[in-house]
A and B are shown apart, each in its own frame.
Chain A
Amino acid sequence: MYWNTFNDFVHMGGYGLYVWGSTGMALVLMLIEPILAARRHRRALAQATNGGNE
């Protein structure tokens, strides 16, 4: 492990804001998109099952 303390890890040598701002955005987007896609599939399946009656 490269880091000595957890604080060092969070601090990222003074670049914490930039590094965590990047990974954080990746995490948020890549969690939301699959949820939306799964919801779209669930809805389509429900509509197909109800014989297309909206």
Chain B
Amino acid sequence: MFKTPARARGLTWFTYAAPSRFYGMAGKAIPWLWALCAVLTVVGLVIGFGIAPTDFQQGDSYRIIFIHVPAAWMSMVIYAVMAFFAVLGWAFHTRMSSMYARALAPTGALFTLLALWTGSLWGKPTWGTWWVWDARITTEFILLLLYLGYLALTEAIDDERRAANAGALLALVGAVNLPVIRYSVVWWNTLHQGSSISVSGGNKMAATMLVAMLIMTLAFWAYSFAVVFTRARAIVLENERDTEWVRAMTSAS
């Protein structure tokens, strides 16, 4: 069992490994994260949908990029973080890690669904089809199945420890899919285009378009932190209901 760390103890790498510390810290951070998310979303949407010029090849359908690319990026980043925490919880029996992993999964699934949905709506006017089983789209679809499998597995097993371990195994095996998604447009001749921006080779986008896309990405990051923190706090309370710190907190209010 975790014990509430002494107040006097300094901040260390493991400070937020304690559910009680996380609960308090996240509670304070969430309103600020929502405010940040709102400001970034408004600025990103105004630049992307109001100021950025049209694309000479794709017309205004290209504006889907401001939702599609940030959503697709988040779907992969969240999976990597989820697998990391799941395995951490498995290896070191740190319960907070497993709770983070479970809190991340629904948001990752949401962004995967959004990436597929917006991709479909972009594919129709651009390629003439809603859906095609090319490497990029198929591997992103597999990502959605991995999230749903992880959620179903961890929900189906009652014992918290066993659920976390089984979930971690699935998350770890599924992580193989991440580099396949990333390089699918390089390894296979896909209908899906390659990257428009790269760290080494510069980017192929106009500056305003790039700025709008990056601001929307930051907005999605803020959103993810806010919603995952909210869900993680719920999971902490569900699991720690009978601990002293929760009793002390709820009886004080």
A5 smallest CB distance to B (angstroms) = 13
Is there an interface contact between B227 and A33, defined as CB atoms closer than 8 Å? yes
B230 to chain A, nearest CB (A): 4
For the complex, is B83 an interface residue (Cβ under 8 Å from A)?
no
Among candidates A17, A22, A44, residue contacting B118 with C-beta atoms closer than 8 Å: A22
Which residues from 64 to 87 on chain B have a C-beta closer than 8 Å to any C-beta of chain A? Answer: 64, 67-68, 71
Please report whether the interface of chain B is mostly helix, strand, loop or mixed according to DSSP.
helix
Question: Judging by beta carbons under 8 Å apart, are B67 and A26 in contact?
Answer: yes
Measured CB to CB, the nearest residue on chain A to B27 is A41
- Among candidates A23, A43, A44, A45, residue contacting B67 with C-beta atoms closer than 8 Å: A23
Q: How far, in whole Å, are A41 and B237 apart by their CA atoms in the complex? A: 8
Judging by beta carbons under 8 Å apart, are A22 and B121 in contact? yes
The CA of A43 and the CA of B226, in the complex, are separated in Å by 18
Is A18 a contact of B50 with CB atoms below 8 Å? no
Which one of B54-62, B138-146, B158-166, B192-200 is at the A interface?
A: B54-62
Residue of A nearest to B231 (CB): A37
| Cβ contacts under 8 Å, A37 to chain B | 227, 230-231, 234
Give the chain A neighbours of B71 by CB distance below 8 A: 26
- Name the contact of A33 in the complex, choosing from B52, B106, B233, B253 (C-beta under 8 A): B106
Contacts of A45 in B (CB 8 A): 237, 250
User: Taking A14-B59, A22-B64, A33-B107 as contacts, is the C-beta distance between A52 and B242 under 8 angstroms?
Assistant: yes
Given known pairs A26-B114, A52-B242, the reply for A19 and B250 (CB within 8 Å) is no
B223 contacts chain A at the CB level, 8 A cutoff = yes
Q: Is the CB of A30 within 8 A of B64?
A: no
* A32-B107 Cα distance, complex, nearest whole Å: 11
Specify which chain A residues have a CB less than 8 angstroms from the CB of B125 in the assembled complex.
15, 18
Q: What are the residues of chain B within 8 A of A52 when measuring CB–CB?
A: 241-242
Contact with A along B41-59 (1 / 0, CB 8 A): 0000100011111100001
- In this complex, what residue of B is CB-closest to A15? B61
Interface residue B169 (Cβ < 8 Å from any Cβ of A): no
* CA of A14 to CA of B58, assembled, Å: 11
**CB nearest neighbor in A for B66:** A23
Q: Which residues of A contact B53 (CB under 8 A)?
A: 2
Contacts known (A19-B60, A38-B230, A44-B237); A49 close to B122, Cβ less than 8 A: no
Contact indicator A3/B107 (Cβ below 8 Å): no
B122: contacting residue among A22, A29, A47, CB under 8 A: A22
CB-CB < 8 A to B110: which residues of A? 29-30, 33
CB atoms of A13 and B117 under 8 A apart: no
Contact B54 A2 (CB under 8 A): yes
Are A29 and B107 touching (Cβ within 8 A)?
no
Q: Contacting A2 at CB < 8 Å: which of B52, B59, B68, B118?
A: B52
Binding site for B on A (CB under 8 A): 1-3, 9, 12-15, 17-19, 21-23, 25-26, 29-30, 33-34, 37-38, 40-41, 43-45, 47-49, 52
